[in-house]
Amino acid sequence: MFSEKTKKTGCIEVICGSMFSGKTEELIRRLKRARFANQKIEIFKPAIDNRYSDKDVVSHDSHSIPSTPVRNPEDILNISPDVQVVGIDEAQFFGESLIEIVQQLADRGVRVVVAGLDMDYSGKPFGPMPGLMAIAEDVQKVHAICVKCGNLANFSHRLTTSDELVVLGEKDVYEPLCRECFNKVK
């Protein structure tokens, strides 16, 4: 199927940043480009994330792409052998086992594009994201704009008093802040 010059090689790409920074938008863009190039793609998201749709991956700007919601990241390994590109949205909601799963896919020759929050609401590294960034061939950190001062934002400030790690929400629950503004409100 592939000649030596077009040998199938896997890789891991991570798109990370704060809420409202365009992570999902960039994931969708990359996957649509792969599909346009006639590559076989599969997209996954955690079943817990049903903010905009139970099934589709949807950006804050309402762009979407069909996906498969999964409860266990191990289910991602059940892809068809002809899949060339796998997209995973909201990766921070999966456990540490996602790191090994993504590694296995890349070792099989699959291009894996992962998007997720790099930090939680308290500014600490979030879930498997640090490990995914460490093993990735490419990491792109995207930024929102701080709603207080207009500088680049890389923190997701929670507006509610909940101290639960996972609180799904939008602009009613989170706002993007730069380091200085985040440190003033934390």
| Residues recognised as catalytic | 90
- Dig out the tokens for 158 from the structure: 């929670």
- Contact assessment for residue 142 and residue 22, using Cβ atoms and an 8 Å cutoff: yes
Nearest to 107 by CA among 12, 34, 39: 12
CA distance 82 to 164: 40
- For the chain, the first-to-last Cα distance in angstroms comes to 55
146-178 burial by CB neighbour count: b if 16+ within 10 A, else e? bebeeeebbbbbbeeeeeeeeeeeeeebbbbbb
- Contact assessment for residue 117 and residue 17, using Cβ atoms and an 8 Å cutoff: yes
